[in-house]
Structure 1
Amino acid sequence: MSKQKISKKKSIRRAKTMTEVVISLVLVGTCGFFVKNTFSNMRDVEASPYFDQTDIEVTTPTDTTVPDPNQTIYESSQVNTTDKFRGDLVLVNEQHQYFGGDEDLVSITDMNYENEVSCYTAVDSTYTILRHVYEPMTKMVQDFYDKYYNDTLIIYGSYRTTEFQQQLYEEDLAQTGDGESTRVAKPGFSEHETGLAFDFTESVNHDYDGTGDFEWINKNCYKYGFVVRYTEEKQRLTKIQNEPWHFRYVGIPHAYYMTTNNLCLEEYIDLVREHPYDKDHLEFSYDGNDYEVYFVASDDGAEKTTVPVPTGTRYEISGNNVDGFIVTVYKGQKPVVEEAPTKSFDDEDTDAEENSTEDTEASEDSSDESSDGEDY
């Protein structure tokens, strides 16, 4: 190959290389120009006046307690303030008078006849008891009979009108010659006027003392809602001598607690008063059932008293005949639907009830009760 041809090829290659270099420089320069213009046109963007620049502190809840689904929820119930004088837990003694007059009474012998009960009887058909007390009283005696086959029990003291109590009181004063009776309560201050109490005697010795076969009744009566109201041990509080024949209905939960804790009714009323609604309630269990008891003071300056009661749970309200109401909660039990509301002192008596009361008073005034073991 000639030297001239080689030089020509070199010249072409050199020219091509130079062209590529120039093009590259142009491209680089162009890019630099655009980059420079871009940066020169850039400026800081101010924060929007609508943006809150305050630091936001994010907190995590510390209370992780899950609400108890079994927690009792309460609602307000309006109760006649005068109803503090009525109920299964009324305290009637020498200091606290009973105010009644519309008791729902039944004849013991008539009820026994209707229900074919022959394990016990009463003196005659004028001996009455509150309707809701008859059933547990009869069940207790029936269970006693089924155990000992002893059918000698007689009810010789039950509901009394104030007029009949006055008669008994005056007869005792005439017999003793004293200015004040120590065996018969003054009219208005006897438990028998409530229809919640009754007395036993028996047809063999006519002297029920709670011993022998009858010891079973005195020891087990709380299972049916009754307490032996007057004992020698509590005489300083009740002001009444030992009366093993006198039984008082208070309801199963209260009878259980009073008996197992050796409390008379006076002591129990005081104890419940120490457990008001807004503080710790009295809670206990018996026979697989849980109970809760608390006190609500009566609003004596108003016609109605607000009593907190549980929702969706069975409960009962009773006056204590002193200063308020006792609420008994049957925890875990459904409310009991009553067929008819209980009458209050503010309700007017029907003519039928008035006639029934007059008939009862007349028949009781004409009857004679045994003077043996006459009690309060």
Structure 2
Amino acid sequence: MIYLDNAATTKMSQKAIETYVKATNEYFANPSSLHEQGEKAKLLLEKCREELANLLRAEKNEIYFTSGGSESNIRVLESLFLANRHKGNHVITTAMEHPSVHSFFKGLEKKGIEVTYVDINNEGQVTIEELKKCIRPTTFLASIQHVNSEIGTIQSMKKIGTLLKENDIVFHSDCVQSFGKLPIDVHEWNIDAVSISSHKIHGPKGVGAVFLSSSVLWEPIDPFTSHEGGFRQGTVNTPGIAAFTAAAMDICSQQRKHLDHIWDLRNTLINELAPIRQLLLIEGGKDKSNQLPHIIGMGLHGIEGQYMLLTLDRFGICISTGSACQSDKQDPSVVMKALHRSSQEAKRFFRISMGIYNTEEEIKEAAKRMIQCFQEKEGYSHGRKT
């Protein structure tokens, strides 16, 4: 198997697996319990909180654990909305956000809140000029992702954060695709809240976290909640959190090395696809400053993305046609819509997302099979015409 769907989920690292097993055996008590074993589990939990805070340049008391990226997005946005809705009736996001973020904002529209979806440029970026046009005196909340999950575009977080802070707008960012792959500095970027997830960085599924600045107002969604400082109900998943933290510390410690490796793989893929390069449309940023190399969103003229996915799957190569959270729907990619691509271009779209365990040989094999898929399709089409 050649796994090129790492933006959907990743294989657990050995370090994360070992940490999970150890924590399950030795720290299984409820961290809220008052006995010695409960205190032991609590100490581990708080150490994990501290370590994740350090990776985000945050404080320990600003980290709250959740069940994953989607819950992190929805819960933190709702908490911020409840506490700040007295400031106005207008919020900002983009049409490229994760489905969980879109779900929250569509819910606000039903409540009578005005939502502006910022226009993006051809590379999938929010420009400061466009964002300025969207800000009103009644704007009080904005959510703009750091890295897009379908085409890998990186947003200019520091510029966006500075502008929003100048206008007293609470700023949340979905950093699920960027955490562990790119440096994140919540204070330098003037971000009030961040969502991250474990299973995107070789940790277990069902675990995530939120950074929520101590300087921003937020309100608990569920009354009488005592867990996680009132942010979330339910006994925390201590083994999962420990494994998440281990995976995060491991991947962040080798971030530069991993980034160089993935850029090499990306360049290899593009070079190997040279025979059909003129027929490829590769979406996203045009230089390293605004493109995460891990994610390649593309379309091949004459080939539907679904056909490419199924063909490569026959050879044991795993790719996707967009966000895994929307895979059961037949609608075009939300990113293709946001980029105003034609219906044909949207149908052609597929995503290759590479990870730290992928090799150059795997990438060359994938490129070979992609070219073969195109040639077979072309041959079949020409055969039918004759």
Please give the range of the TM-score, normalised by the shorter of the 2 chains: under 0.3
Structure (1/2) with the larger strand percentage: 1
TM-score by length of 1: 0.24
Higher RCO by CA contacts (8 Å cutoff, separation 6 or greater): 2
* Bigger Rg over Cα: 1
